[in-house]
Amino acid sequence: PSTPHDKLTPAGSIAPEVSQYPGVNQLSSTLGGLSLQHSQQPESLRPVNLTQDRNILPVSPVLAPVPNLNSDLRKLNCSPDSFRCTLTNIPQTQALLNKAKLPLGLLLHPFRDLTQLPVITSSTIVRCRSCRTYINPFVAFIDQRRWKCNLCYRVNDVPEEFMYNPLTRSYGEPHKRPEVQNSTVEFIASSDYMLRPPQPAVYLFVLDVSYNAVEAGYLTIVCQSLLENLDKLPGDSRTRIGFITFDSTVQFYNLQEGLSQPQMLIVSDIDDVFLPTPDSLLVNLHESKELIKDLLNALPNMFTNTRETHSALGPALQAAFKLMSPTGGRISVFQSQLPSLGAGLLHSREDPNQRSSTKVVQHLGPATDFYKKLALDCSGQQTAVDLFLLSSQYSDLASLACMSKYSAGCIYYYPSFHHSHNPAQSEKLQKDLKRYLTRKIGFEAVMRIRCTKGLSIHTFHGNLFVRSTDLLSLANVNPDAGFAVQMSIEESLTDTSLVCFQTALLYTSSKGERRIRVHTLCLPVVTSLADVYAGADVQAAVCLLANMAVDRSVSSSLSDARDALVNAVVDSLSAYISTASNLQQSTLIAPNSLKLFPLYILALLKQKAFRTGTSTRLDDRIYAMCQIKSQPLVHLMKMIHPNLYRIDRLTNEGTIHVNDRVVPQPPLQKLSAEKLTREGAFLMDCGSIFYIWIGKSCDNSFIKDVLGYPNYASVPQKLTQLPELDTVSSERARSFISWLRDSRPLSPVLQVIKDESPAKTDFFQHLVEDRTEAAFSYYEFLLHIQQQICK
């Protein structure tokens, strides 16, 4: 498939003057005066008749559009996996942006795991004296001694040390240094970048041990996982660890090196919680390792006969805050029910009869500001709070989630968790913990996003606290966190054909090094409406709109948010149709770049976060909203519009070779029951879960060779893994699934679903193109959009 714009020779493209210092100012290329009637119309502007063309879903997953830059800049540009913009052609003015009716914003995944990352150890970190931008591939060298900032255009001196290139060991070629050859780099920072000596890695686990929690049996899994990964926790010789448990009282554990066994200290005055001993509650992991292991082995059985049903979560968190304040670090909270005692206690606010209401959905916001205040206190002391909610009934996640949202923590949710009755959730907790405990972590971090003069950022999305207008405070940063920002064009971008965005993340590594990770993205500026549409990145736009819709649901109402999502499609397609003089008004036409826009928005409206008329538990809805606000784009898109593949007929056609595996590449199917044949087997990839749906009349050879059962009837209801069988079809299916798994940090759980199993509804609710009692089919939605446009 051709990339957008590959047929285009931009009108302004140039043969750079032969100069010793090629700089961006000579490489500028503009999309001079392209219009819809242009003879070389880019593929992204090909008009698509949505009501007639029933097969708009491409056969392979949608890739980010490649910005229309000349090849030199394209090679240098930041990977879309770290940084992408909703428009890859930036409108020159706010008026042009308003005309296009598309959202302008950035989606960031700044700390993601990278296979290669240039690390720069030089003692001078070169930055613009005016706007503090880090030197990057898109600055211009005026001569050997001066460079011009690509964000504010100030001319800066090149420091002497920068004249030497450590890679080529040559002098006098500043434009060849790694900082200027890579758009993603990491600097080792000097003491100027520290407010205090870098902190050690400090981990505190706060565990609910009430009757509910003990009955659910999560403690065994958590303690087991910690025992297995104790030596893999990121850190160095200074790493510290501690444990607090709680029910109606708060229990601390003295792990002082030299004790013969851990000592439990109980604080029962929960209205005025205090630390029972000044030290030895957070201990050096290496010095006290044996005591820590003893505690982890003992904990699961210490509370087996408990009669305590109360939960003093608030006081336990206040104690945790006191314990962590001197250093900062990470608090991991495991909670199984509504907090019922002390500060932060909550009452049930859910009316189960209202779960499928089409009217007002209430209680999307917190019931108390206790958890937000606590989070801000923690954030001020460089401490993030991560929440694992393992609940069998309503637990008011809308209130509890605040502890993580404002402290830059993360949220995990396991509804109906039970170690034996719900094996899929147990397996998910195990897999999540393995990733959670061993993934990279950055402490005491701040992030700043800068952009070319004229552009301004006005709203931030993600689990963070905005400390000053543009400084984001992240007590912890993890590689699975995504962020989004909305932007506007405050001054026309008339003097430039390119704009740049730079995000800089300053953090302390788990080894106690202060580091700065910098990503820089460069995009062309355009003056015609057609070019704005040509460069639209539909997935980025949908993810940004989803973030905006979550805010709108909480600040206004769910129905307002839903209307706003529909209007986003109506307004942009309506604006597009009115610019294209040669299109009949009676059909629904979209430019190729936006052909999936209505489908993705319909899918979003059917997501648990936004759906109405279908029974949805309040905590499930809130969790989906939390996910939207904190997941990177790739993960969020699979949540909104999963990928469906037929897997009972995998062939060698079009396979790819990865390492030493041959991986089949079945085409994507549209999310509709009409695609499911009773004779087939289908895999749905929803990001954190894989469903395999088996049709009633599925070929016995597939069931035998891949699932390892003689026939359909003998396949059990709760099957969560594929056996390793020595057959071609087993090899192919497993190879395809492992390849999908390897593309993401979290290992998804697998659920095999038979046509009559109760779990079938989980699978079918993702078939977004079909109609339900409460929602349009895709075709009905298109007709609805068309009616709105013709109004």
Mean pLDDT by 10 residues, the chain (791 residues): 35 32 38 43 91 91 95 96 97 97 98 94 93 97 94 95 83 89 95 90 98 96 98 98 98 95 96 92 97 97 96 98 97 98 96 83 95 98 98 96 98 95 91 96 97 96 91 96 97 95 98 97 97 97 98 96 98 90 75 97 97 93 97 96 96 87 93 93 95 94 96 90 94 94 85 87 93 93 94 78
Q: Residue 490 corresponds to which tokens in the numbers above?
A: 């405050």
Contacts 24+ apart (CB under 8 A), 546-552: 546/604, 546/609, 546/628, 546/636, 546/640, 547/461, 547/484, 547/628, 547/629, 548/103, 548/459, 548/461, 548/486, 549/604, 549/609, 549/610, 549/628, 550/609, 550/625, 550/628, 550/629, 551/459, 551/461
What pLDDT was estimated at residue 16? Answer: 33
- Strand locations in 272-430, DSSP E? 282-284, 329-335, 383-389, 411-413
pTM, whole model, 2 decimals?
A: 0.93
| Backbone phi, psi, residue 185, to 5° | -140, 165
Of 540, 542, 559, 561, nearest in space to 550 by CA? 561
What pLDDT was estimated at residue 585? Answer: 63
Q: How far is it, in rounded angstroms, from Cα 741 to Cα 289?
A: 33
**Residues ≥6 apart with Cβ < 8 Å to 692:** 647, 681, 682, 683, 684, 750, 751, 752, 753
At 267, the amino acid letter reads V
Q: How far is it, in rounded angstroms, from Cα 128 to Cα 159?
A: 11
Q: How far is it, in rounded angstroms, from Cα 748 to Cα 689?
A: 5
466's enclosing H/E stretch is strand 465-468
Of 639, 570, 644, 566, nearest in space to 609 by CA? 639
In DSSP terms, 251 is beta-bridged to: 245, 266
What pLDDT was estimated at residue 584? Answer: 64
Q: How far is it, in rounded angstroms, from Cα 113 to Cα 479?
A: 6
With contact defined as beta carbons under 8 Å apart, do 45 and 592 qualify?
A: yes
| % of the chain at pLDDT higher than 70 | 94
CA dist list (Å): 669 to 382, 684, 767: 46, 10, 11
Q: How far is it, in rounded angstroms, from Cα 138 to Cα 153?
A: 11
With contact defined as beta carbons under 8 Å apart, do 518 and 611 qualify?
A: no
CA dist list (Å): 76 to 27, 185, 560, 574: 12, 12, 42, 36
Q: How far is it, in rounded angstroms, from Cα 558 to Cα 611?
A: 9
Among left, alpha and beta (phi > 0; psi -120 to 50; other), residue 258 is left
Scanning 201-275, the segments in alpha helix (DSSP H) are: 211-216, 218-229
| C-alpha atoms less than 13 angstroms from C-alpha of 539 in its C-beta half-sphere | 21
In DSSP terms, 750 is beta-bridged to: 690
Sign of the torsion formed by the C-alpha atoms of 542, 545, 546 and 547: positive
At 76, the amino acid letter reads L
| Neighbour tally for 148: CB within 10 Å | 17
| Neighbour tally for 648: CB within 10 Å | 23
With contact defined as beta carbons under 8 Å apart, do 475 and 468 qualify?
A: no
CA 737 to chain centroid, in Å, comes to: 21
398's enclosing H/E stretch is helix 397-400
Scanning 606-742, the segments in alpha helix (DSSP H) are: 618-630, 633-640, 700-702, 728-742
